[in-house]
Structure 1
């Protein structure tokens, strides 16, 4: 009889941990499933799973038949910590997505405003027809506010009509190697460095259109914006920079385009929007920003009076 009582007591001791273990198994399985979903969201390229940073202390050896309550309590605490990490990670992802949506909505409204102002402007004086468009991906410039110098659209290079300019363009050496995308980009860079901006703009648009998957596409789109900016066309520059960030976010010049987007917005007297862009740049590319750009961002934030 005494043996039966002991066996019954032992069975009860083991039944409680088993029931708790069953409940934890369900929570752990759910967490693992959610963690995999979050990892697929954060690392769409298939980056290896993140190893949990929370590890419990090694469980002390115990005699057979001893209650398992400390082990279950430790496991419960670890699962609770994992749930908190999951909630924090999910919140950060949602905040980042919200900021991106805000930026997209602001630029969609800005594009619409630019198009509406241009369409209401009518034909350019003396042309007898509509102003030439700047290309399929670049809307025409906005009608300037009073006191602002009008931004010209991007006409075809006039080198053929101006012998002196044609001579300057002809003096720019065209590279000739086995890499046409590299050659076309370098030629555009040389035109830009020589301050032949209309010709450079046309060349950069050609690089992006002809070699959209080349690493030089990001470079060319960024220098297209730089060329517009140097040519006194901040509206066109802002759109070119934003397109580089939006369409080629992993491109090598996407962070630089975000920085110059802020500069273009400052030229357009939009410091509040520039501050949002600088914040987006730091949030998205913080790990890729070198010391020189960090210093530039800090100065730009001061100039824009960012909070």
Structure 2
């Protein structure tokens, strides 16, 4: 049974109920059954509209087939969700960048602190790891022990029992300047350690500098000062190779002549007269201006300690 026939059948039933309920007398017969039928159907439809004002689909055939219910909020909801995700991704990327920068800063700080701790603890073995540092400019004039004087051996370090508070205080008191030339700063910090007579610490710092920066303009100063740090520490045997290397690597270097003269001084400390005389002769021949000028006093003093043919 279709919705239309069902509705028509219901119309007759509704009409019957309406006729029974009314108190008006029955309509007279007019012989026009068709007209009466049309009128009854019209009244039933009116009754249906009152009983079923929503035009329920169970009783009326829909004039237009049902269309999918639109969800106007879906596009906006989807758009909002995508926008939120993109915003969160941007925020996460920003946080990641900040975290990466912070990790780098923290890593650098930890490295500096670790080197400092190692520097203090390494005094137990009489040597210092190369501290990362900052510096002061190095004076052009030499400022070591008196010219020609053989440095007295340094007392045996009491480091095996740990560095004394006094020594730790001296190391910590060395300023670490910062300039626009970090490599020059590395050398200058070694110079400060040597100037403070912290020879093991200066040796380690200067070794790091010359090995990592052999072509830097301060390298000739660094090798010469490293030899002096050993020589002043009573270690002439360790000092000699650095003096010789500085002279041979660049004979025109700013401290090549100094190193050759200090090589002779190292040989004198080792009682090697033959090599001391060779170094003194080489110095006088290669650097006559220094032998009669800035280094004349040291040259004459060393010549007075040995008898050369």
Give the TM-score band, short-chain normalised: 0.3 to 0.5
| TM value normalised by structure 1 | 0.47
Specify which structure has the bigger relative contact order, considering alpha-carbon pairs within 8 angstroms and separated by 6 or more residues.
2
| TM value normalised by structure 2 | 0.46
